[in-house]
Amino acid sequence: MATTVFLNGRWCPPEDAMVSVNDRGFLFGDAVYEATPAYGGRFLRLERHMTRLQQGLDALRIAADVRTIERCHFELLERNDLRREPWSMVYLQVTRGVAPRGHAFPAGDVQPTVYGFARALTRPDRARWQAGYAAITYPDLRWRRADLKTTLLLANVLAQQAAVDAGVDDVILLRDSMAVEGSHANLFIVSNGALVTAPLDERVLPGVTRSIVIELAAGLSLEVHERDVSEADLRTAAEVLLCGTTTEIRPITSVNGEPVGGGAVGPITRQLYDAFQQHLLTL
C-alpha cells in the first residue's frame, strides 16, 4: 500500500486524502487517468503515457498542467521508497473538479482535482507464466470512446468479475462479433505465423505496451497486421496474448474452456516476452 499520496499539491497519507462529494470524478466519472510502470525507479515510456493523458484531457476539455503531473511521478516513487523496487506503478488521475451537480460543464473557473499514488507490483514467477492463463469472452459493454483512458470503468469491472465468477484469469471483450481487447489489456493473436491486433480506433485503447510489442515484433522480423479479429479468428488462433502496464505480456492458453493452439505457451509469445525483458534492461 502507498504510504504517501498526492492530492492537489499536497502530500499526505492515504487516509488523510479527502475529495469533495461534489467532485465530478465522484459524481460522473468525469476524469482521465494514467498508470505508468517503473523498473528499478526508471519509468517505461513516461513521455508516451503523458502524451496519452494530454490527449484524454483535451478530448474531455479539462485544463490541467501535465508538466506538474509528470514531475509527480518521480516524487511519488521517492516518497514511497520505490526507487529500487524491481517493478512498481504510479497512478495519476485528473477530474474536472468540484462543482454543483449538473450534466453540462460547470461555468466559471473550476480547478481540476489531481490525485496520485504509487505501489509495488509483483511479476508472476516463470513457472506460473509458463503454465499460461485462461480467459473467457464477454460482451463489450463499454461506452464508444474506449480509446480514451477515462475512469468510466464499470463495464470493465463487470467483465473482470465475470472472469472471477468463471474461475479464470482474464476476459476478452467482444463487440459486434469482433475481439477488441481485454478488460484492462490489449489483445494480440498469432495467425499464419503473424501477429494480429485490432486497429486503433474508438473501440481500442492505444496501449503503450501494445506499441512496444509491435516494435519488438519488428526487431524479431515478425509480421504484424492491424485488422479486426473475429470470433472465428480467436477460436482458430495459434496463440493468444494480452499486454498492458500491469500485465506486461501474458499468454492466454485457453478461451472459453477450449485450448488455444496446442494449449501451451506458444513460441512467438515466448520470443516477445523474452525480448520485452531484454528491452527493460535498456531503461
Positions annotated as catalytic residues are: 149
8 Å CB contact between 191 and 238: yes
- Interatomic CA distance for residues 279 and 204, integer angstroms: 25
DSSP string, the chain: --S-EEETTEEE-GGG----TTBHHHHH--EEEEEEEEETTEESSHHHHHHHHHHHHHHHT----HHHHHHHHHHHHHHTT-TT-SSEEEEEEEE--B--S-SSPPSS--PPEEEEEEEE--PPPHHHHHH-EEEEEEE--S-S-TTS-BS--HHHHHHHHHHHHHT-SEEEEEETTEEEEESSSEEEEEETTEEEE--SSTTS---HHHHHHHHHHHHTT--EEES--BHHHHHH-SEEEEEETTTEEEEEEEETTEESTTSS--HHHHHHHHHHHHHHTT-
Q: Which of 69, 85, 71 lies closest to 2 in space, CA to CA?
A: 85
Residue 134 bridge partners (DSSP): 254
The amino acid that residue 10 corresponds to is: R
The amino acid that residue 241 corresponds to is: L
C-alpha cell at 64: 490541467
C-alpha cell at 96: 474536472
